[in-house]
Structure 1
Amino acid sequence: MMTELTAADGHRLDGWIEPAIGARKGGLMILQEIFGVTDQLKGVARHYAALGYEVAIPALFDRHEKGAVIPFDQGSRGRDMMLASDLDQTMLDADAAVQALAKNGGKVGVIGFCWGGGLALRAAQVLDVGCAVAFYGTRLTQYLDRPLKAPFMAHFGSLDDHVPPEMREAAKAALPGMEVHLYDAGHAFANDARPSHVPAAANTAHARTRGFLALHIR
């Protein structure tokens, strides 16, 4: 269901909440691609809710356009909103979701995809989270200015032209604690609503993510 979250600066944003099924293990925040809170991301939320996590997806475009959901074939529109976003404000919005989940008890984990993957890295540096996972996180070079505060796992496609090898290597050098997994795939390999989907890579990455969450969110 969609609810309202309030950031520390007073900004109000939407947040999709997927209640945990069965015994609640903790919270999990999912950070969006450049397409908004899509039905595909809600499906990811249901997957992890079925494992016992209460899941929140903050609507990070609400500062620009309330309720914006961008069709996958209109990526340039989403990219423009992403580029117009202020990182500090975006992290305030992400933290609003973390705080809402934390109120219900337990630690809070983070999973981010694409733009949200880079933001998941930032969350592991500046937010009070138990761990964070990035799926093909982009724009990594802007997040290498401070150390990790929480365990961080990253999944990359070896053929991803959004995250070239030199970017991955720079991140590994700057953040030696990050756990990196590489897959024979391109960008957005875990998005099952796009032609880029590579089921074998996605399944393996999610299995590793489930184990990582089980280790750190309890």
Structure 2
Amino acid sequence: MQIELAAADGHRLSAWREGPRDARRALVVVQEIFGVNRHMRHVCSEFAARGFAVICPALFDRVEPGVELGYAEADVKRGIALRGRIDPGATLLDIEAAAIALPSTARRAIVGYCWGGTVAWHGATRSQCFRAAIGYYGGGIAAAREEVPSCPTQLHFGAEDHGIPLRDVEAVKAARPEVEVFVYAGAGHGFACEERASFHPAATEQALARSLDFLDRNLGQ
């Protein structure tokens, strides 16, 4: 269901919420550069079905409310342009607003995809709201690899991701040996999105299993 959040700077933004209100485990799910679209709602539903309380904040509301994009070239260009207009510090306030809106007694984690993968990294390194963080193919993580996560962190990358070269992944591994990093052979950028041409079912299944195991280990069951 659609809800409204209030960030610490007074900004109000929409968000998608699913899952039990009395959940013991909770997730902030962070969007790609395509808004809180059908794919992101699908991700929320998958985690909610496993008992998580989930909130996915609409980060584009900072510059344009109600954005839901597809995956055509024009959508990619528009998503990149919108992302470029948003200050990372403001995005951090938005994910923290989502964390605060989760059940107060739940153990909280963050998981993000594409742009959201980088935002999840910032959630681990720049916020104290989360007990675990997971990032999928976050293109900005390598540039921020010297930042130290304050919680256990797991990252997933595709070996064939032309936007995130393997040298960047290796640089992250070298800088942050305490972080779990997985690379999937034959998988490209966006491999876990069932709506993209790059969707890789086997890599998606394996990454989800590893993510759920990671959450079990760090949030309990």
Q: TM-score range by the shorter chain?
A: over 0.9
CA distance in 2, matches of 1:50, 1:25: 14
SS in 2 for 1:196: coil
Counterpart mapping for 1:119-134 below 5 A: 119-127=119-127, 128-134=129-135
Q: Structure 2: which amino acid aligns with 1:125?
A: T
CA distance in 2, matches of 1:217, 1:102: 14
- Show the counterpart of 1:163: 164
8 Å CA contact 1:20, 1:51 repeated in 2: no
Q: Deviations over 1:167-218 (max 9, x none)?
A: 1122222222110111021110000011110000000000100111111123
- Show the counterpart of 2:117: 117
- Show the counterpart of 1:58: 57
Give 1:108 deviation, angstroms: 0.7
Q: Structure 2: which amino acid aligns with 1:107?
A: R
CA distance in 1, matches of 2:139, 2:24: 29
Moved over 4 A (4+): none
8 Å CA contact 1:124, 1:132 repeated in 2: yes
Give yes or no for the alignment of 1:202 onto 2:201: no
- Show the counterpart of 1:38: 37
- Show the counterpart of 1:190: 192
- Show the counterpart of 2:69: 70
SS in 1 for 2:157: strand
- Show the counterpart of 1:141: 142
Q: Structure 1: which amino acid aligns with 2:176?
A: L
Give 1:145 deviation, angstroms: 4.0
CA distance in 2, matches of 1:45, 1:70: 17
Give 1:102 deviation, angstroms: 4.5
Gaps of 5+ in 1: none
RMSD over aligned Cα, in angstroms?
A: 1.3
Name the % identity. 38
Q: Deviations over 1:39-60 (max 9, x none)?
A: 1111111111111100000000
Count of residues paired in the alignment:
216
8 Å CA contact 1:14, 1:59 repeated in 2: yes
- Show the counterpart of 1:18: 18
Q: Structure 2: which amino acid aligns with 1:70?
A: L
Q: Deviations over 1:5-39 (max 9, x none)?
A: 00000000001000239x72311011010000011
Gaps of 5+ in 2: none
8 Å CA contact 2:53, 2:103 repeated in 1: no
- Show the counterpart of 2:81: 80
SS in 2 for 1:149: coil
- Show the counterpart of 1:27: 26
